[in-house]
Structure 1
């Protein structure tokens, strides 16, 4: 190991240049922040503690087929993700899923995913007719006769929906949909943070059915529906990238390097302090001095780095919990997989049904590039693990594969053995957004606003999806740039 050395840096004259910025974290948040900063003339160094960039965006191979081993798509109705992909040369590789219909495996059968809901909350009981029992549908129909609802400053999605429409709609649809995004518990997840358009509509309407109905009416001709809103005739909501969404970090990293950015892996950051000449970022090899720092790391890592410079922000970040999950990717001979529902891209599984898997994605059906890459194979993946189920990730790979095959056999009749399997564990992969999350994030940002040239970004703040994470990075970069210009 090299001896620790102090690198001093004389910053530019305030207001003339963004100066030198160190970005801590080489996931898509850190890369997007670096890309934004470089475009404005900053000198940028990205420090990533692991041996690769990309964070939760990762591609790999199974039987020679390139597949996503992390997130596989991004919302197309938010512009940040597709705009960044186009900016780094992936525009021609963007495309929607080939199959967009899905099901819910519940009450012993695969049931079509209903249309006409907002993250599982219906505007009309008829939308869930095939999914719920007669008693569950009758409970929804009684909602307008209840006293007016009040979401207050924030409320748990599951708790409020159960109060208005009954637990069955939460357990059979809201829970698996939210669980697919956050791997969390709908009865804890903040409506204001996770489904903000529903929270805003619920504040305007005393009836939850009427609130959903107002969203289903649409934002007007030519405008995109809010994310999470399922319109009966809506177009593709998601976009993928040929070769995998995991290609995005590499393309952004190439653009960062081409613009003069310094991107270092295997460079963990061990400490952060403030001196008269700027911020001091201590790695295991040296101390870098910068005019500004962007922390694009998980909340627990940012908390540790902020412990001395901003104890209040550090304390709030330390309270953010994470869920762990595993993805089980399997390749079958295509001839052995003939029982799947026609045209389906996969299915969700409510926790209340007591299965091991929480979802299955038929990758060969969903993504044309997977289909074309292996005409004799069928690739699918299951996901396992939710908030509070960390014990699932302690099981051996073979156990997770066997449990997935058991559930797939019961759900869609697959009896064959896969020709190849791959288990990918994401320990602490998804931050949780409980009631009060946005207030916590606001406190963190308020505390950091008092420190010149220090910002945070990533999945722990404004949303866990790729576009939301990129938007968080853009905000951090723009605030750094604005602060330098106003200095």
Structure 2
């Protein structure tokens, strides 16, 4: 459970633990999208105007809250300078800590709740090998009680051309994950390949790695300690009209939960706009001098 949750089970609330156990008991296989997870944002971008490299730094109520001006203004920083967008409604799909910084309309208590959400840090090692890995399963879960630099491994078959396999290794959360995020790439490689070797002779990777990449997530997975679900319930009742949150910290540590939170957020703002009999408008941007 420690490897699956990226946290010590003793720190998880009973309500969250029961939800995870239900998920595990119903899990018969692991599925992934053909072409990778990037197909989700690509599909979103196909129907919307997506601005790459533009960072929303503040969402605030418009100073003039009348019908001639949008209820919200979003300040954005881009390579070309700073500008402001008017918005009838805002969905903030970020980590909880980023939402606490960006959303100025929130009451202090709500900001404190968001800022207090804890995340597990994790390092992910992707590598290619010059050989195949003899394993009956493509997924390997570390069940050892002692601390290790590897929690989960995924084997990616090299194909029929005689190429070696690929391997993705996830570190656990807690202090181990945080420590790995602070190490140089070569050090992460050494620690994680050493941890992989504990899975058996076929996982002695050392000299067989031909290429590798290290990704670091300082806010990889949200934690669900005692009281988290109650605080989330209170959080939704404190949100101003036209403002919604989305993210895995609201529903669970998986992709499905993140998508579900986004659907709920979209339903919230569209319902509120319909109740106000407001047709979404295109507001002019206000640009500042770079």
Q: What TM bracket, shorter-length normalisation?
A: 0.7 to 0.9
1:380 aligns with 2:203: no
1:421 pairs with one of 168, 191, 212 = 212
Equivalence map 1:43-192=2 (5 Å): 174-178=1-5, 183-192=6-15
- The equivalent residue for 1:401 is 189
- 1:306·1:313 contact (CA, 8 Å) conserved in 2? no
User: Which residue of 52, 75, 84 corresponds with 1:287?
Assistant: 84
1:297 to 94, 104, 108: 94
- The 8 Å contact of residues 457 and 469 in structure 1, kept in 2 or not, is answered as yes
Q: CA deviation at 1:443?
A: 1.4
Offset at residue 346 of structure 1 (A): 3.0
Report the counterpart of residue 116 of structure 2 in structure 1: 319
Q: Equivalent residue for 1:482?
A: 271
Q: Which of 16, 24, 28 is the aligned partner of 1:228?
A: 24
SS of residue paired to 1:184 = coil
For 1:195 and 1:280, the matched residues in 2 are separated by 41
Distance 1:351 1:288, change over 3 A: farther
* Distance (whole Å) between structure 2 residues aligned to residue 315 and residue 407 of structure 1: 37
TM-score (norm 1): 0.51
- 1:374/1:282 CA distance change after superposition, 3 Å: farther
Shift of 1:375: 4.1
- SS of residue in 2 equivalent to 1:354: coil
State how far apart, in whole Å, the 1-side matches of 2:198 and 2:20 are: 36
Partner of 2:249: 460
Residue 440 (structure 1) shift: 1.1
Aligned length: 262
Distance in 2 between residues matched to 1:359 and 1:235, nearest whole Å: 17
| Runs of 4 or more consecutive aligned structure 1 residues displaced over 6 Å after TM superposition | none
Task: List alignment gaps of at least 5 residues for structure 1.
Answer: 1-173, 199-225, 365-370
- 1:440-479 deviation digits (Å, cap 9, x = unpaired): 111111100xx22111111110112111111110001011
Structure 1 contact 194–463 (Cα < 8 Å) conserved: no
Aligned-residue CA RMSD (Å) = 2.2
Residue 240 of structure 1 corresponds to 32
Structure 2 distance, partners of 1:400, 1:297, is: 27
Summarize deviations over 1:222-262 as a string: whole Å, max 9, x none: xxxx52215xxx743x32122322332223322x2xxxx22
Aligned pair 1:270/2:93, yes or no?
Answer: no
Return closer, same or farther for 1:192/1:478 CA change in 2, 3 Å cut-off: same
Q: How does 1:308-457 map to 2 (within 5 A)?
A: 308-334=105-131, 337-338=132-133, 340-341=134-135, 343-350=136-143, 352-364=145-157, 371-372=158-159, 375-389=162-176, 390-413=178-201, 414=204, 416-448=207-239, 451-457=240-246
The 1:381–1:263 alpha-carbon spacing in structure 2 relative to 1, beyond 3 Å, is: same
Q: 1:464 to 1:373 in 2, by over 3 A?
A: farther
Counterpart secondary structure, 2:23: coil
| Structure 2 unaligned spans of 5+ | 277-290
1:165 equivalent in structure 2: none
Give the CA deviation at 1:410. Answer: 3.7
C-alpha distance in 2, partners of 1:454/1:313?
A: 13
**Secondary structure class of the residue paired with 1:315:** helix
Q: Output one character per residue of 1:174-212: Cα deviation in whole Å (capped at 9) or x when no partner.
A: 32332xxxx2221111231353275xxxxxxxxxxxxxx
Q: Is the 8 A contact 2:61 2:105 kept in 1?
A: no
Write the distance in 2 (CA, Å) between the matches of 1:393 and 1:351: 22
Deviation at 1:283, TM superposition (A): 1.6
Compared CA separation, residues 264 and 467, structure 1 to 2 (3 A): same
Residues 1:246 and 1:467: Cα distance change in structure 2 (over 3 Å): same
Instruction: Tell me what 1:120 maps to.
Output: none
Bigger radius of gyration among the two: 1
